Structure 1
Amino acid sequence: MSFKESFNVNGENLLKKIKEIIAEGNVRKIIISDKAGKEILSFPVTIGVVGVVLLPIFAAVGALAALLTECTITVERSDSSKEHDQNDTPPPTENPNTPTDI
Structure 2
Amino acid sequence: MSFKETFYTTGENLLKKIKELIAEGNVTKISIADKNGNEIISFPATIGVIGAIFAPIIAAVGAVAALLTECKVTVERKGPPTDKDAESTEFGQTNE
Identify whether the pair has TM-score above 0.5, normalized to the shorter chain.
yes
Interval containing the TM-score (normalised by the shorter chain): 0.7 to 0.9
Gaps in structure 2 of 5+ consecutive residues: 82-96
Secondary structure (helix, strand or coil) at the match of 2:36 reads: coil
Moved over 6 A (4+): none
2-structure distance, mates of 1:27, 1:4 = 9
Gaps in structure 1 of 5+ consecutive residues: 82-102
TM-score (norm 2): 0.78
Query: Once the 2 structures are TM-superposed, how far is the Cα of residue 13 of structure 1 from its aligned partner?
Result: 0.6
Match of 1:8 in 2: 8
Q: Is the 8 A contact 2:3 2:80 kept in 1?
A: no
1-structure distance, mates of 2:59, 2:79 = 29
How many pairs were matched up?
Answer: 81
Quick one: structure 1 residues 47 and 78, their matched pair in 2 at CA, closer, same or farther if it must change by over 3 Å?
A: farther
1-structure distance, mates of 2:64, 2:28 = 21
Query: Once the 2 structures are TM-superposed, how far is the Cα of residue 80 of structure 1 from its aligned partner?
Result: 6.7
Rg larger in structure: 1
Secondary structure (helix, strand or coil) at the match of 1:66 reads: helix
Match of 1:61 in 2: 61
2-structure distance, mates of 1:50, 1:4 = 23
Identity of aligned residues (%): 69
Match of 1:71 in 2: 71
Match of 1:42 in 2: 42
TM-score (norm 1): 0.74
Query: Once the 2 structures are TM-superposed, how far is the Cα of residue 52 of structure 1 from its aligned partner?
Result: 1.4
2-structure distance, mates of 1:17, 1:48 = 14
- The structure with the largest strand share of the pair is 2
Quick one: structure 1 residues 49 and 36, their matched pair in 2 at CA, closer, same or farther if it must change by over 3 Å?
A: same
Q: Is the 8 A contact 2:30 2:75 kept in 1?
A: yes
